[in-house]
Amino acid sequence: MARTRRDLTGKVVVITGAARGIGAATARALTREKVRLAIGDLDGDLATTVASDLGGKAIARKLDVTDHSGYAAFLDEVEDELGPIDVLINNAGIMPVANFDEESAESIARQLDINLHAVIFGTQQAVQRMKPRGRGHIVNIASAAGKGGFPGVATYCSTKFGVVGLTEALYNELHGTGIDVSCVMPGIVRTELTDGIKDHWLIKTSTPQQVADAIVGALQKPRLDVFVPRSIGALNRSMAFVPRRGQAWFMRATGADRLLADAAHSPAREAYERRAAGK
């Protein structure tokens, strides 16, 4: 029997990193579902603009997810203003591209803080708030790079592997509590984060709206693994049956191993790399 699609009307939804890209697209998609929306972003002014563009149907706050006390206070403020949080979408993330031996300690620490530590903290905060109520949904935005390592983004892959592992563990740990968890794993999504990265025939390029639609779909019909596009999931499952040497050969033969690394010195990434570094 097909599962009934959940009505999201009136649900209190929080999205981090929602001033741009996937986060902003998800905010727009969820506004159409008539949720009560709170968006947080390090760029508070841009977050406010996004909220305004949604017709005043969302609240916006400046949010530095690496400031854990500030993150907790943000969630407290949302609950005071909108009510108990039903959905937390951990979307904030960065992806500097560099050969691992050339990557700075600051870049490594910043990715760990934003992409992994903040997701762990935000998820724990959500569980602590949702568990006593016996309901809730946590959506963690990982990446296809959380299932397979790509040269040029070793630290990024490490953080996304961590997000995948966290979400899979909680899927089992929270069984029976009423809390759902989903791990969203996009491939190449055309946002600032992928500036300078070329299209590749093996991995179909997606738009932020397509990822947003997949997130909404997972909220309406909860599931753990959300690949965007779905073909990435099929590829991931099929490659699991191929020996490690065969996987590596396939990546090199198709040029997929250089997909991200070749963008390291692309002029098209300069603006994004500065922003990702907090400059």
**pLDDT means over runs of 10, the chain (279 residues):** 82 97 97 97 97 90 98 98 98 96 97 98 98 98 93 96 98 98 95 83 86 98 95 82 85 82 83 90
Domain count across the chain: 1
CA–CA separation, 42 vs 62, rounded Å? Answer: 5
Choose among 185, 157, 42: nearest CA to 95: 157
Residue 209: give the domain boundaries: 12-276
Residue pointed to by tokens 């108990």: 84
Q: Residue 163 domain-assigned?
A: yes
pLDDT, residue 1, reads: 41
**Which two structure tokens, joined as six digits, stand for 242?**
């191929």
235 in a structural domain: yes
**156 noted as active-site residue:** yes
CB atoms within 10 A of CB 220: 14
User: Which pLDDT does position 201 carry in this prediction?
Assistant: 67
- 1 within some domain: no
| Catalytic position from the list 71, 156, 171, 272 | 156
For residue range 224-255, list pLDDT tens digits in order: 999 998 888 887 788 788 888 888 888 888 88
What's the pLDDT at 200?
73
Does residue 95 fall inside a structural domain?
yes
Domain for residue 3, yes or no?
A: no
Q: What is the CATH classification number for the domain harbouring 71?
A: 3.40.50.720
Helix (H) or strand (E) holding 37: strand 36-41
Residues sharing a CB contact under 8 Å with residue 91, sequence separation 6 or more, in sequence order:
15, 16, 17, 18, 22, 23, 26, 141
For residue 102, tell me if it sits in a domain. Answer: yes
Tens digits of residue pLDDT in 178-226: 999 999 999 999 998 888 888 776 777 899 999 999 999 999 999 999 9
